[in-house]
């Protein structure tokens, strides 16, 4: 008898986890053995249940999905990760693969294709949403430096330059320079627009 591929579902929405579990358990060779709602529980749970593949959402409390995939790759590499998210943004795809994820699909992927993606990842292959892969090539690499990302993330909250400077432990002049550079790279006319464009591309 063929051994089932042991799966971990990591998503902060219980309804989504339940739906994914129901879909995947229909497949004879797939078995959902664990579920978590926080990113910082992925590695310990995967190790505890000897999981082969972790299906990880991006936006979760404790640790975001990309960071969780990186931790899994580093600390428990025998479990591969497949990002399954609502947010099909090209920048997220690149960041996820750079972090060590083996695949990236969106949540409206048909059940049969999702199951096939899990099998590919388990075999050590890549499984990437084809439309997103094309879009990623079109958009190109994330042009922002780590510091520019930090100040744009802070700008998303709508704070003043002084607020962002305090949160980032930078001078107001330095924050202005980073925001100006980020606006130039994203072609945003304001820092709010630059932050929105960066977020939509998955660069934040």
The number of domains in the chain is 2
**Domain encompassing residue 187:** 146-200
Give yes or no: residues 22 and 106 share one domain: yes
Give yes or no: residues 69 and 170 share one domain: no
Instruction: Quickly tell me which residue has 């078995």 as its tokens.
Output: 31
Q: What is the CATH number of the domain that holds 92?
A: 3.40.50.2300
User: Final residue of a domain: which of 121, 139, 157?
Assistant: 139
Among 119, 117, 80, 86, smallest CA distance to 101 is for: 80
pLDDT at residue 147 tops 80: yes
DSSP H or E stretch at residue 106: strand 103-106
Among 66, 92, 178, smallest CA distance to 167 is for: 178
Give yes or no: residues 33 and 129 share one domain: yes
Give yes or no: residues 168 and 90 share one domain: no
pTM of the predicted model as reported, rounded to 2 decimal places: 0.70
pLDDT at 91: 78
Q: What is the CATH number of the domain that holds 173?
A: 1.10.10.10
Give yes or no: residues 167 and 84 share one domain: no
Give yes or no: residues 160 and 95 share one domain: no
pLDDT at residue 18 tops 90: yes
DSSP letters of 34-67? EEESSGGGHHHHHHHTT-SEEEE-SS-SSS-HHH
pLDDT at 1: 47
More confident residue, 120 or 87: 120
User: Final residue of a domain: which of 139, 156, 172?
Assistant: 139
Give yes or no: residues 120 and 172 share one domain: no
Q: Could you give the 3-state DSSP secondary structure of residue 157?
A: coil
Give yes or no: residues 73 and 105 share one domain: yes
Per-residue pLDDT tens over the stretch 51-100: 999 999 999 999 999 999 999 999 999 999 999 988 777 778 888 998 99
User: Final residue of a domain: which of 91, 123, 139?
Assistant: 139
Give yes or no: residues 157 and 64 share one domain: no
> Nearest-5° angle of CA 88, CA 32, CA 10?
40
């Amino acid at each position: 008898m063929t051994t089932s591929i042991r799966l971990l579902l990591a998503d902060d929405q219980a309804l989504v986890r339940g739906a994914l579990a129901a879909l995947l358990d229909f497949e004879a060779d797939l078995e959902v053995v664990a579920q978590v709602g926080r990113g910082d529980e992925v590695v310990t749970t995967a190790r505890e249940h000897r999981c082969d593949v972790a299906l990880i959402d991006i936006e979760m409390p404790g640790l975001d999905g990309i960071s969780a995939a990186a931790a899994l790759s580093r600390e428990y590499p025998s479990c591969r990760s497949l990002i399954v998210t609502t947010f099909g943004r090209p920048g997220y795809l690149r960041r996820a693969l750079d972090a060590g994820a083996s695949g990236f699909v969106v949540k409206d992927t048909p059940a049969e294709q999702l199951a096939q993606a899990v099998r590919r990842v388990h075999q050590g292959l890549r499984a990437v949403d084809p439309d997103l892969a094309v879009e990623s090539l079109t958009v190109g690499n994330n042009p922002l430096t780590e510091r520019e990302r930090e100040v744009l993330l802070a700008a998303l909250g709508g704070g003043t330059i002084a607020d962002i400077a305090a949160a980032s432990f930078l001078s107001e002049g330095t924050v202005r320079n980073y925001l100006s550079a980020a606006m130039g790279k994203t072609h945003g006319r304001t820092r709010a627009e630059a932050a929105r464009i960066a977020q939509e591309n998955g660069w934040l």
